[in-house]
Amino acid sequence: MGQRAAIYCRVSTADQSCGRQERDLTAFAGRAGYDVVATFKETGSGAKLDRAERKKVLALAQARQIDAILVTELSRWGRSTIDLLNTLRELENWKVSIIAMNGMAFDLSSPHGRMLATFLSGIAEFERDLISERVKSGLAAAKARGKKLGRQAGERPKSDRLASKVMALNAEGRSYRWIARDLGISKNTVADIIKRDRLSSAKGEITS
């Protein structure tokens, strides 16, 4: 019996099909002697965060139900070098390898796999530095144009939006903890809203 594998296919847009990837990977699995446990197909850009099918593959790996993940190329699996490296480390803990048809095999238990991971770590750090530099550059450019960045003093967008609901529930005699849980905010935020409302009411009474 060969190693157990999951096939993972991904295309970027709905007008594309995973058919060719699935056919090529199924044939590849047969030639390499893998027993295909399941096939997962996904539509979404490389940067898409919510990849439901990829999560299913990772769940199989964590449950030790597969030994390898087969992809046509690593860009089908990883959202970025950083993401690829992070998932490789997770898979290493579960003794699962990623095998790409283009000949790239990541098995971090092997010297070759560890060497590639070290190389990827360097690229990932470079990517992080580039992203940080771009963010800083963008913020500086926005500031130079006179754009105000971040939340301005006195602005409480979420608590201001929920203030009327908080006060209505408070008037019904609900506890701060109950209100916080019901509205999905912290108890401190509830207390702050009620405190500000009382202060505002008190100021109104003084000036009237």
Per-residue CA distances from 104 to 78, 89, 118 (Å): 13, 16, 15
Nearest Cα neighbor of 131 from 123, 49, 89 is 123
Q: How far apart are CA 194 and CA 191, in angstroms?
A: 5
Q: How far apart are CA 28 and CA 2, in angstroms?
A: 13
The residue behind tokens 């100021």 is 203
Nearest Cα neighbor of 10 from 48, 41, 31 is 41
Give the count of beta carbons closer than 10 Å to the beta carbon of residue 82. Answer: 17
For the chain, give percent helix, strand, coil, nearest 5. 55, 15, 30
Catalytic member of 12, 80, 121, 159: 12
Q: Is 164 tagged catalytic?
A: no
Catalytic residue ranges: 12
